[in-house]
């Protein structure tokens, strides 16, 4: 799999194996399996502990719906870009506008955080490396989180490199 | 471990500060957000230099939290909302 940037401002991925293409297609779909843990992490409290009860109520009433709409819009942008992913021999390829990079970063972060919260991953889990005899659902989720992180690294290098 | 407070990106007027003193915007560590993503978000929201953004990011990583801004409550709420829109764990706290 190769990441690239074109001269006319597009970002691309090519030689995407089918299994990886499926991981990409899952980015905008995390809400299909959302859990309370994921919801709580995506919409955290603006005040620590039990402080600021009024603020927390206002936040839920006015801010969270705005955040919900914003997160939905970034996922929809990524979903539209993913519809452009096409077969290229035995693999897949896709390109999207560089202007969509922030939306991709956001959508990737939504699914990474939701997966981590859903599976209860902590710092130790996130740093876990090395071969294992078998893979369970948690291991696969960790692979998925790290793969999406790799795409985030690529996007951040492009965005930060141009500043 | 002690935390440092860095200068605000934009100065508040005396009237604003006098009415509502002061609120801290605190970013908390989480095991998932990438370090360079957190730096990127700090630069984007607060206009920090790369050096300052990385300093706050490392403070979050090492100490578990960093005060990234202090000022009026209204603006602190705005910044927390911005940080939440980038999926960072952020809270506002009255300065002690």
Residues of A in contact with B84 (CB under 8 A): 43-44, 46, 63, 67
Cα–Cα distances (Å) from A125 to A145, B11, B17, in that order, read 11, 42, 44
Which of B61, B91, B92, B95 is the best mutation test for A, with the most CBs of A within 10 A?
A: B91
CB proximity A150 to B under 8 Å: no
Token pair 């605000």 in the structure block, residue: B8
Distance (Å, rounded) from C-alpha B8 to C-alpha A133? 51
B26 chain-A contacts, CB cut-off 8 A = 48
Cβ proximity of A58 and A80 under 8 Å: no
Residues of chain B with pLDDT under 50: 1-3, 7, 14, 16-18
If you count DSSP H runs as helices and E runs as strands, how many of each does chain A have, helices first?
A: 7, 4
CA distance B11 to chain A (A): 23
| Pick among B20, B26, B31 to test the A interface (most A CBs inside 10 A) | B31
- Interface contact flag, B81 A51, Cβ < 8 Å: no
DSSP-assigned letter for residue B5: B
Alpha-carbon distance values, B7 to A77, B37, B40, B46, B48 (Å): 36, 22, 19, 11, 10
ipTM above 0.85, yes or no: yes
pLDDT recorded at residue A59: 94
How distant is the Cα of B26 from the closest Cα of chain A, in angstroms? 10
What's A59's DSSP letter?
Answer: I
| pLDDT tens, per residue, chain A with 163 residues | 999 999 998 999 999 999 999 999 999 987 766 788 999 999 999 997 766 788 889 999 999 999 999 999 999 999 999 999 999 999 999 999 999 999 999 999 999 999 999 999 988 888 876 666 667 888 889 999 999 999 999 999 998 886 6
B31 in A contact zone (CB under 8 Å): yes
Query: Between chains, do B31 and A121 touch, taking CB under 8 Å as contact?
Result: yes
Contact: A160, B36; criterion CB under 8 Å: yes
Q: Name chain B contacts of A45, Cβ cutoff 8 Å.
A: 91
Q: Which residue has the tokens 């965005």?
A: A159
What does the pLDDT read at residue B43?
97
For an interface test with B, the pick among A41, A45, A46 (most B C-beta atoms closer than 10 Å) comes out as A46
Q: How far apart are CA A46 and CA A64, in angstroms?
A: 10
């Amino acid at each position: 799999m190769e990441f690239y940037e074109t001269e006319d401002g597009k970002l691309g991925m090519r030689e995407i194996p089918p299994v990886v293409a499926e991981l990409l297609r899952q980015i905008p779909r995390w809400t299909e399996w959302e859990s309370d843990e994921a919801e709580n992490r995506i919409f955290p409290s603006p005040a620590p502990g039990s402080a600021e009860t009024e603020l927390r109520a206002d936040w839920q009433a006015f801010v969270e719906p705005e955040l919900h709409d914003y997160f939905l819009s970034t996922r929809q942008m990524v979903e539209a870009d993913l519809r452009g992913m096409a077969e290229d021999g035995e693999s897949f390829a896709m390109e999207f506008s560089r202007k969509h990079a922030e939306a991709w970063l956001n959508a990737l972060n939504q699914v990474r955080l939701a997966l981590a919260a859903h599976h209860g991953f902590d710092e130790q889990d996130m740093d876990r490396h090395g071969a294992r005899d078998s893979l369970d659902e948690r291991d696969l989720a960790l692979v998925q989180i790290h793969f999406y992180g790799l795409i985030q690294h690529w996007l951040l290098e492009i965005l930060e490199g141009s500043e | 471990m002690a935390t440092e407070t860095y200068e605000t990106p934009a100065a508040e007027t005396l009237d604003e500060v006098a009415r509502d003193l002061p609120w801290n915007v605190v970013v908390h560590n989480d095991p998932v957000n990438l370090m360079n993503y957190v730096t990127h978000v700090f630069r984007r929201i607060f206009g920090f230099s790369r050096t300052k953004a990385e300093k706050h990011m490392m403070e979050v990583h090492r100490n578990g939290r960093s005060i990234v801004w202090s000022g009026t409550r209204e603006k602190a709420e705005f910044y927390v909302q911005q940080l939440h829109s980038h999926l960072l764990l952020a809270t506002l706290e009255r300065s002690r």
